Structure 1
């Protein structure tokens, strides 16, 4: 592994080397708090490299305020590999205090069409950051139900153009998926 590999390659290489179940188990442990972010950066740093690559070992004086990155990387893993029991960990991560973790949960929800996560993500539609609102809108469009359309419609007047565009596309996708008009 090199420090210049894309995250997908790092994760897939770790799965090939250590076993997909071991890598997923570690990511779930980080997301659920069974392995704290501090432990991930100290006693579990070799496993943390499975999620981010060898550069993580070079952070000898990491500020504890940045420990949340372990949860971000653990969530990101599920963009590349999957196991159904990850949904429970992602439900916990949907309420993570770090917005980057919640954004990744929204991305995974959209990619994998995980309807069981949509309600937990809805607060992200009013997040202060446009990228979180956009990611959440995409998740709702990909995995939501008719009752979620009104929340997306409210974003059509969002002050940020990228959020408005994401909401429009999400409504289109929702209508296509459900085969009905929702406006």
Structure 2
């Protein structure tokens, strides 16, 4: 990806070249672990290049240290912010428990953007994550896609030490009330 190409532009170019279904299938395979990190930087590198716009998206020395393989799942998840197919929900549900917080954060972002209520419960454990950005992403997902019974879980973060999380809680509770057309306090 050049400095001028946004992730959205890279994904659009990949879809134009290979088709949305092919790109979606690759990302499901990356995110679900069907394509390993080793394969992603080996035989499957053209797929990784297509979704990131770079033959070395992490800028790492070769060979890539396996500790960085989780980035492949992050980049694959990011694609679902721009391309969608309903069967992706299953791999996102599994990814909500990914060992890498950046992957889980992206699942929360996708859940919020696409209003995927069926993923909210899987995200709730990260309301206690040590990083404010992860907590805030989950709070936003709950506001966008949660139900009445989820309000209490995010309300507990109203006094979070991080201002970003506190602001996300306030907006999420308001959004829940508007979406559900009922008070959640």
- The corresponding residue for 1:13 is 13
**What is the deviation of 1:34?**
1.0
Q: Distance in 2 between matches of 1:89 and 1:127?
A: 21
Q: Distance in 2 between matches of 1:97 and 1:17?
A: 32
- The corresponding residue for 1:100 is 102
**What is the deviation of 1:102?**
0.3
- TM-score of the two chains, using structure 2 as the length reference: 0.95
* 2:121 pairs with 1:119: yes
**What is the deviation of 1:54?**
2.0
- The corresponding residue for 2:168 is 166
Q: Distance in 2 between matches of 1:110 and 1:73?
A: 18
**What is the deviation of 1:37?**
2.1
Q: Distance in 2 between matches of 1:3 and 1:168?
A: 35
- TM-score of the two chains, using structure 1 as the length reference: 0.96
- The corresponding residue for 1:68 is 70
Corresponding residue SS for 2:142: helix
After the TM superposition, list the runs of 4 or more consecutive aligned residues in structure 1 that deviate by more than 6 angstroms: none
Corresponding residue SS for 1:173: helix
Cα-to-partner distance string for 1:66-120 (whole Å, 9 max, x where unaligned): 1100000000000001000110110111110000000000000000000000000
Corresponding residue SS for 1:97: coil
**What is the deviation of 1:38?**
2.2
Corresponding residue SS for 2:72: helix
Corresponding residue SS for 1:79: coil
Greater helix share, structure number: 1
* 2:20 pairs with 1:29: no
- The corresponding residue for 1:79 is 81
Contact 2:45 2:55 in 1 (8 A): no
Q: Distance in 1 between matches of 2:69 and 2:132?
A: 24
* Runs (5+) with no aligned partner, structure 1: none
- The corresponding residue for 2:132 is 130
Larger CA deviation: 8-17 vs 40-49: 40-49
- The corresponding residue for 2:40 is 40
**What is the deviation of 1:55?**
4.1
Contact 1:131 1:163 in 2 (8 A): yes
Contact 2:129 2:135 in 1 (8 A): yes
